[in-house]
């Protein structure tokens, strides 16, 4: 993206699902699983302008365990999140598909595989185990380690790679999705 190989950003499609039988509140699936999803989405596409959501309860569920969240970004890009607590291990954990005017990339299972597809060529580039990480669980140590290193080095708060503001913006998207579903409306975000 920084090299301009994607061109103008058009859309993002994110999928994250696991098999989680826990039911603590009607919105547990959204609030527990998708702060990560929306953080990744915002990392690639920036701030969200509008949100619309659709949800359903899986078989035998009392919570909203499946969600489709539509997004419009401040930069004009569009996207969606498909999320579920009713998925099987063979489905994979996560896929993020980012499309621009010059190309597309697909990031699979957080860090395991990345494929770049140029728009006007059949040649693709595929990378596996980016940063030496082989699974999603390895991202936690890497991320927390980076944060601790920055704090220990005395990095100013506004230069820390990750912030309470980023976390809050992801949470605003989740709450907007809930409000959209409850009211049947598109919800505008004002941050």
The CATH number linked to 128 is 3.30.360.10
Residue 145 lies in a domain: no
Share of the chain above pLDDT 90, in %: 73
Residue 119 lies in a domain: yes
**CB atoms near residue 172 (< 10 Å):** 18
Q: Has this prediction a pTM greater than 0.75?
A: yes
Q: What integer is the mean pLDDT of 29-51?
A: 96
Is residue 29 within 8 Å of residue 126, measured between CB atoms? no
Residue 67 lies in a domain: yes
CA nearest neighbour of 10 among 1, 21, 23, 18: 1
CA nearest neighbour of 140 among 166, 156, 162: 162
Residue 117 lies in a domain: yes
Half-sphere exposure of 82 (CA within 13 A, CB side): 12
Number of folded domains that form the chain? 1
Q: How far apart are CA 24 and CA 20, in angstroms?
A: 11
Lowest mean pLDDT among 32-41, 120-129, 135-144, 173-182: 135-144
Range of the domain at 108: 9-135+169-186
Residue 163 lies in a domain: no
Residue 121 lies in a domain: yes
Residue showing tokens 């990031």:
107
Q: How far apart are CA 38 and CA 144, in angstroms?
A: 18
Residue 85, CA distances (Å) to 13, 30, 40 in order: 18, 9, 19
Predicted local confidence at residue 150, as pLDDT: 87
Residue 66 lies in a domain: yes
Going across the sheet that includes 125-128, the strands are 125-128, 113-118, 103-108, 94-100, 9-17, 78-84, 66-73, 48-56, 187-188
* Banded pLDDT at 138 (limits 50, 70, 90): low
pLDDT, mean over the chain: 91
Residue 158 lies in a domain: no
């Amino acid at each position: 993206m920084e090299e301009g190989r994607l061109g103008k950003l058009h859309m993002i499609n994110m999928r994250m699902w696991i098999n989680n039988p826990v039911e603590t509140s009607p919105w547990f699936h959204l609030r527990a699983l998708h702060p990560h999803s929306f953080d990744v989405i915002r990392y690639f596409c920036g701030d969200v302008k509008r949100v619309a959501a659709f949800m359903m309860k899986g078989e035998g569920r009392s919570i909203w365990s499946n969600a489709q969240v539509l997004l419009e970004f401040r930069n004009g890009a569009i996207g969606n999140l498909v999320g579920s607590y009713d998925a099987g291990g063979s489905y994979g954990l996560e896929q993020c598909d980012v499309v621009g005017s010059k190309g597309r990339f697909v990031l699979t299972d957080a860090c395991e595989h990345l494929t770049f597809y140029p728009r006007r060529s059949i040649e693709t580039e595929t990378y596996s185990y980016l940063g030496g990480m082989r699974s999603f669980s390895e991202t936690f140590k890497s991320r927390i380690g980076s944060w601790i290193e920055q704090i220990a080095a005395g990095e100013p708060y506004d230069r820390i790679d990750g912030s309470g503001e980023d976390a809050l913006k992801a949470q605003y998207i989740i709450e907007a999705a809930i409000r959209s579903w409850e009211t049947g409306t598109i919800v505008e975000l004002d941050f």
